Amino acid sequence: MKFELTNKKLNQIRADLEVILIPNKKLKHKWIKDLAAIRTQDYKASPDEILYLPHRKRLYVGIESLNINEFRIGAALAIRAIKSKKIKSLKVGLYGDDPVGSGVALVEGFILGAYEFDQYRKEKSKNNISRIILATETHKGTSVDLVELKHKVQQSQVIAQATNYVRDLVNQGPSDLTPPILAKEAKRLAKENNLKCQVYGKRWLAKQGMGAFLAVNRASSFPPQLIHLHYQPSKPKSRIVLVGKGITYDTGGLSLKPRGALVNMKIDMGGAAAILGIIQAVSQLKLPIELHTILGVTENAIGQHAYKPDDVLTAMNSKTIEVKDTDAEGRLVLADCLVYAQTLKPDYLIDIATLTGASVVGLGEYTMGLMGHNQDLKRAFLGASVTSGEEVAELPFNRYLKSKLKSEVADLSNLGPNKLGDAIVAALFLSEFIDKRNKDKWVHLDIAGPAFVEKPWGYNPYGASGAGVRLVVQWMEQLLK
């Protein structure tokens, strides 16, 4: 899909179809020219309601409000409704108080909404739309700077494509995306985008003393891979390290998951995939940030060599961990990765992980959990949440939850006496591996809920959503302002 931008009026642009969003069910607007048809078809323009009038070459989509995120959703629903039809080009105007922002959101919505994962299907998905023309004509009648719009639209294409790239990775079957294959993919990405890439295996991890990470790997027939990618611009304004949970399949280990809970556990590398998408976007956008991404990649398998509940592990910072449950493996891998990440002396340290079922129970499947010690940093993420459209909710720490990690035999255990508050308890476990001087630099994002979509919503089709990419890139852009 190619995007074209023009100062021409909508009615001067030739296209196969015009897409018109209708906020708040308000059917009185000069762009709405089919009131008779609307009436006969009893079209109300309720949120997500579509009216396709092929003979009039128009498609109407109801949206809830003039909120930026509604433009993403509207564009996604429009493209999904028509991409397999015999239409090659679309035209659309701009909306709301921030028309440039609406253009950005529309472009994201078109790209994210058109996505379909068809790698394993004989019948491939169709998208016949090759041109999308954005007019600077606005719903409100205000004017827009074409140059600014062009620049912003280019950026949003990079971000949306990075999100789709992450979706592709996460949607692969777990036997097709193994740790060595993910490492190979990281090397390919590095080569294509001029990044440095180091892949470390078992021996290196052992030398670093990463006993927690290694334990999780023990039953797997694939080696563990710590993947370190590095983007170095010429004049960085900040050094940021991202850490991602990369469990290519989570069986639960000896604390085996029940059969139903195994399904979809291929998504347990969603955090690692997200940070690959982020570094792709950041390098293509040439943001002045020295960016490091650390992917902790392994299977959590089951077998004769498996680590066991009751094992005591020693992490890279010498802390000992009593294993209470081998299914709480993400925090073990992340513990060692976070210790390593801090040797890079970051200004900010962000980890992204499909860490806990508790976060899904607490927040639902649309919202990620945000945790950390620094209120200002968390506030910045909440701000980026609004602009990016990714739903984020803060989960608060408290010292009672922290005391649940006390162990009788080791410095701490990997699980409390029960699973109550486990999204927060897991984050407090991670916090034990953050040095005092880095506590305020760190936030943790639990994407277990939004990483995978069972029932399509908004601009998310079935499958992996690419959660985290848009949020973190948006946060970085706001940081640079």
- Exactly one of 70, 185, 327, 336 binds Zn ion (CB under 5 A); that residue is 327
Q: State which amino acid sits at residue 34.
A: D
Q: Which of residues 270-329 bind ligand BES (CB under 6 A)?
A: 325, 327-329
Specify whether the backbone of 241 is left (phi greater than 0), alpha (psi in -120 to 50) or beta.
Answer: beta
- Strand-pair category, 17-23 with 289-300: unpaired
Using CB under 6 A, which of the segments 5-13, 199-207, 279-287, 349-357 binds ligand BES? 349-357
Specify the residue, 310 or 408, whose C-beta has the smaller distance to Zn ion.
310
Binding mask 218-257 for ligand BES (x = CB under 6 A): --------------------------------x-x-----
Q: Site for Zn ion (CB under 5 A): how many residues?
A: 6
CB of 299 to ligand BES, least distance (A): 12
Using CB under 5 A, which of the segments 244-252, 278-286, 383-391, 468-476 binds Zn ion? 244-252
CB 470 within 8 A of CB 163: yes
What is the Cα–Cα distance from 92 to 22, expressed in whole angstroms? 12
- Exactly one of 448, 453, 464, 467 binds ligand BES (CB under 6 A); that residue is 448
240 binds, among Zn ion, ligand BES, none (CB under 5 to 8 A by kind): none
Dihedral through CA 23, CA 26, CA 28, CA 29, nearest 10?
-10
Task: Give the containing element (helix H, strand E) for 338.
Answer: helix 330-342
What is the Cα–Cα distance from 455 to 358, expressed in whole angstroms? 20
For residue 268, state whether it binds ligand BES (rule: CB under 6 A).
yes
For tokens 């961990």, what's the residue?
321
Using CB under 5 A, which of the segments 98-106, 219-227, 330-338, 341-349 binds Zn ion? 330-338
- Exactly one of 313, 352, 358, 453 binds ligand BES (CB under 6 A); that residue is 358
448 binds, among ligand BES, Zn ion, none (CB under 5 to 8 A by kind): ligand BES
CB of 183 to ligand BES, least distance (A): 20
59 binds, among ligand BES, Zn ion, none (CB under 5 to 8 A by kind): none
Specify the residue, 23 or 270, whose C-beta has the smaller distance to ligand BES.
270
Using CB under 6 A, which of the segments 122-130, 150-158, 314-322, 356-364 binds ligand BES? 356-364
CB of 421 to Zn ion, least distance (A): 17
Specify the residue, 317 or 414, whose C-beta has the smaller distance to ligand BES.
414
What is the Cα–Cα distance from 77 to 256, expressed in whole angstroms? 39
Give the Cβ contact number of residue 258 at 10 Å. 7
Who's near 306: CB < 8 A, 6+ residues apart? 218, 219, 253, 254, 326
Q: State which amino acid sits at residue 94.
A: L
- Exactly one of 18, 108, 268, 322 binds Zn ion (CB under 5 A); that residue is 268
For residue 330, state whether it binds Zn ion (rule: CB under 5 A).
yes
Residue nearest to ligand BES as judged by C-beta position: 357
For residue 299, state whether it binds Zn ion (rule: CB under 5 A).
no
325 binds, among Zn ion, ligand BES, none (CB under 5 to 8 A by kind): ligand BES
For residue 356, state whether it binds ligand BES (rule: CB under 6 A).
yes
Q: State which amino acid sits at residue 26.
A: K
The first and second tokens of residue 126, run together, are: 């169709």
For residue 354, state whether it binds ligand BES (rule: CB under 6 A).
yes
Letter string b/e over residues 51-68, b meaning 16 or more CB atoms within 10 A of that residue's CB: bebeeeebbbbbbeebeb
Binding mask 406-445 for ligand BES (x = CB under 6 A): ---------x---x--x-----------------------
CA 222 to chain centroid? 26
360 binds, among ligand BES, Zn ion, none (CB under 5 to 8 A by kind): ligand BES
For residue 330, state whether it binds ligand BES (rule: CB under 6 A).
yes
Letter string b/e over residues 205-236, b meaning 16 or more CB atoms within 10 A of that residue's CB: beebbbbbbbbbbbbbebbbbbbbbbbeeeee
Using CB under 6 A, which of the segments 140-148, 334-342, 353-361, 461-469 binds ligand BES? 353-361
Q: Site for ligand BES (CB under 6 A): how many residues?
A: 17
For residue 250, state whether it binds Zn ion (rule: CB under 5 A).
yes
Who's near 298: CB < 8 A, 6+ residues apart? 179, 213, 216, 217, 220, 222, 224, 225, 246, 247, 248, 333
- Strand-pair category, 196-200 with 225-231: antiparallel
CB 365 within 8 A of CB 454: yes
Q: Which residues are catalytic, by number?
A: 257, 331
Q: State which amino acid sits at residue 206.
A: A
What is the Cα–Cα distance from 416 to 340, expressed in whole angstroms? 25
Q: Which residues bind Zn ion (CB under 5 A)?
A: 247, 250, 268, 327, 329-330
Q: Which residues bind ligand BES (CB under 6 A)?
A: 250, 252, 268, 325, 327-330, 354, 356-358, 360, 415, 419, 422, 448
